[in-house]
Structure 1
Amino acid sequence: MREARSPRSVLRAVLVAAVSAVLFVGLVGTASAAPPSSAQGGSDCVGRTIPTSKISIQLYTFAEVIGGGVGEQERHEEVLRRLAEMGYRNVEPFTLSGWSAEEYRALLDEYGLKASARHVDVGSQYSPADIEQILEENRILGIKYFGSGSTAGAPWVGELTTEADWIAYAQYLDAVGEQARKAGQTLMVHNHDFEFTTVFGERTAFDILMQYTQAKNVVFQLDLYWATRADLEGSPNADPIELIEQYRNRIQLFHVKDLNTELGNRIEIVGRGDIDFRSIFAAAGGGIRYYVVEHDPRFGDPTFDPFEAAEVGLAYLTCKRD
């Protein structure tokens, strides 16, 4: 089975790793697939890597726990409480679970948490969202970064089918981003794999989103799992290091989730898969504002514990090991 780094980036990874040992020792430590026993760092930790102030977690990791209906708010609050106890200081909500922005902000404050960013539907040219309302909620929540958890080009949405559709969508996002910038906030675009598997000539849909949005209006949250998966499966222009090198400051946040090649490129707990995070983080240097741990839920799988995924992910990012 093909390994989790593409052949075209093997030499680059070697060079980056050599440079990173000198330049980024204060930011990135040697990664190990066997994490410390505690989210605060086990006894074998010899230092810190990424500071907790730059680490967050996407709460969609707990979508099955939070659920819906009766008891949703209680379950959501329990997730926040346990994350705070683990040592998280930031979370990335995907739902307010029926609370008002004021109520959710009070809940975050109670547990010493900050909303580093937010996934919320920002709409498209075909179905615009109420951006003013979103911006006002973000202001109350104290959120700077926000964006849809998926673009309108997702196969399950089906709004964008042509190159012209994608260009118009990018232009819509740029206008939303301008509106956000004037309100002191920042629109981010989060990718899955389909932005790389959708290709028009020599441009992927991801390239189109970059080309038709302005850096001052729109930044990107690069999901390292989905980009790596698209690269492994042969999509052009998807290698994470090449994307970082090409687009540099446009990429300001990471979704950090791992990939298991032995299990059909399945999403894996951070540090237990095959993605070379060390080289990716080194290539990004100090340009990433938030490293967001995430593991999509394995709905109906009782062997998966999202709290374990959260704890191991935090330990992996914070613990520098020999």
Structure 2
Amino acid sequence: MLLAALSALLFVGLVGPANAAPSTAGHTSADCARVPLNKISIQLYTFSAYIGSGPGAQQRHEEVLRRLAEMGYRNVEPYTLGGWTAEQYRALLDRYGLKASARHVDVGSQFSEVNIEQILEENRVLGIKYFGSGSSAGAPWIPEQQRLKTEADWVAYAEYLDAVGEQARKAGQTLMIHNHDFEFTTVFGDRTAFDILMQHTQAKNVVSQLDLYWVSFAGLDPIEDVIDVYGNRIQLFHVKDLNPALNNRIEIVGRGNIDFPSIFAAAGGSTKYYVVEHDPRNDGTFDPFVAAQEGFEYLTCTNG
């Protein structure tokens, strides 16, 4: 999901602010969204708890890909290569007729740079255009994110991302910023941290993968506060719902109150991918395969 970090603590048992999701008040997700099949994807972090690690993880990872393909998905968004090389992972995707629509991977910061050339080469092999950091990029990003304390820190981070984005652009790829709530709740004067990231990166170098749950969780209106402001710089959505009746927790797409059809309509034709996601909820009540199936049905309007 770019910018992994502080909100990783919120993955389980979320309790949201009283003003969460103002733009969705009075709406339900009862109506389907109807978006093109080739633009539907799913963030594989949804299955991270199921896949796990150690013995059997690769088998479970492959099972996830197989079952997603059987559901009708054509695209997936990896958060890890699962111990495979880029060549091996590409072969695995090809086996199940899947494409990697984007990728979450640690792209570093001004505090700790990473090997961007290696990432770009892996992306080339995988056939990936969009990439950026997200919560799924892993725990090492958390202390780095916590070091962004001041407005100057955020500006320097944006400038770092712009340089990475320029490098990516020259390789035919696109760096994306994935948000959580804190980019919108961290405010300097009249600017949020998200504003700083957008204003100190060039549109040709950096785009937004807007996580609609986290925008709503932060108490903002996704349309008025973000889409109307940044327009076609928002090129991907993380589509996950919000349940106000259960402490504003992440909900299966279509079961919460986010008005996805209105948001998608406001975004117009700039959206390249609509990515279903649900952060793991390790309380015995969450089945990632159900979340994937219902999310797919909601976006394709095949839910009856």
Q: TM-score range by the shorter chain?
A: 0.7 to 0.9
Q: How high is the TM-score relative to the length of structure 2?
A: 0.88
Instruction: Look up the SS of the partner of 2:166 in the other structure.
Output: helix
User: What is the letter of the counterpart of residue 299 of structure 2?
Assistant: L
The equivalent residue for 2:276 is 293
User: What is the letter of the counterpart of residue 45 of structure 2?
Assistant: Y
Pick aligned residue for 2:212 from 224, 240, 250:
224
1:244 matched to 2:227? The reply is yes
Preserved contact between residue 153 and residue 161 of structure 1 (Cα < 8 Å):
no
Pick aligned residue for 2:116 from 128, 131, 134:
131
Q: CA deviation at 1:285?
A: 1.4
User: What is the letter of the counterpart of residue 99 of structure 1?
Assistant: W
The equivalent residue for 2:286 is 304
1:148 matched to 2:133? The reply is yes
Gaps of 5+ in 1: 15-29, 36-47, 232-237
1:116 matched to 2:101? The reply is yes
The equivalent residue for 1:202 is 190
Pick aligned residue for 2:30 from 29, 32, 35:
32
The equivalent residue for 2:5 is none
User: What is the letter of the counterpart of residue 108 of structure 2?
Assistant: G
- Report the number of matched residues: 284
Q: 1-side partners of 2:275 and 2:111: how far apart?
A: 30
Q: 1-side partners of 2:302 and 2:29: how far apart?
A: 7
The equivalent residue for 2:254 is 271
Q: 2-side partners of 1:148 and 1:215: how far apart?
A: 18
Pick aligned residue for 1:106 from 91, 105, 119:
91
Q: Percent identity of the aligned residues?
A: 73
The equivalent residue for 1:66 is 51
User: What is the letter of the counterpart of residue 174 of structure 2?
Assistant: T
Q: 2-side partners of 1:68 and 1:209: how far apart?
A: 34
The equivalent residue for 1:183 is 171
1:6 matched to 2:4? The reply is no
Q: Which has the larger radius of gyration?
A: 1
Preserved contact between residue 42 and residue 75 of structure 2 (Cα < 8 Å):
yes
1:313 matched to 2:258? The reply is no
Q: CA deviation at 1:6?
A: 2.1
Q: 1-side partners of 2:302 and 2:191: how far apart?
A: 39
* More moved, 284-293 vs 135-144: 284-293
User: What is the letter of the counterpart of residue 287 of structure 2?
Assistant: D
Preserved contact between residue 3 and residue 261 of structure 1 (Cα < 8 Å):
no
Query: Deviation string for 1:30-74 (max 9, x for gaps)?
Result: 9527x8xxxxxxxxxxxx921210000000000001111111111
Query: Deviation string for 1:113-151 (max 9, x for gaps)?
Result: 000000000000110110000000000000000000149
Instruction: Look up the SS of the partner of 1:286 in the other structure.
Output: helix
Q: CA deviation at 1:186?
A: 0.2
User: What is the letter of the counterpart of residue 270 of structure 1?
Assistant: V
Query: Deviation string for 1:76-126 (max 9, x for gaps)?
Result: 000000000000000000000100000000000000000000000000011
User: What is the letter of the counterpart of residue 63 of structure 1?
Assistant: S
Instruction: Look up the SS of the partner of 1:267 in the other structure.
Output: strand
Seen in structure 2, the aligned counterparts of structure 1 residues 168 and 157 have a Cα distance that, compared at 3 Å, is closer
Q: How much is the aligned-residue C-alpha RMSD, in angstroms? A: 2.4
Q: 2-side partners of 1:32 and 1:132: how far apart?
A: 44
Q: 1-side partners of 2:108 and 2:288: how far apart?
A: 29
* More moved, 161-170 vs 276-285: 276-285
Q: CA deviation at 1:157?
A: 3.8
The equivalent residue for 1:55 is 40
Preserved contact between residue 131 and residue 176 of structure 2 (Cα < 8 Å):
yes
Query: Deviation string for 1:180-218 (max 9, x for gaps)?
Result: 000000000000000011111111000000000000000
Q: 2-side partners of 1:105 and 1:306: how far apart?
A: 23
Gaps of 5+ in 2: 1-16
Preserved contact between residue 145 and residue 188 of structure 1 (Cα < 8 Å):
yes
Runs of 4 or more consecutive aligned structure 1 residues displaced over 3 Å after TM superposition: 1-5, 150-157
The equivalent residue for 1:169 is 157
Preserved contact between residue 56 and residue 88 of structure 1 (Cα < 8 Å):
yes
* More moved, 88-97 vs 48-57: 48-57
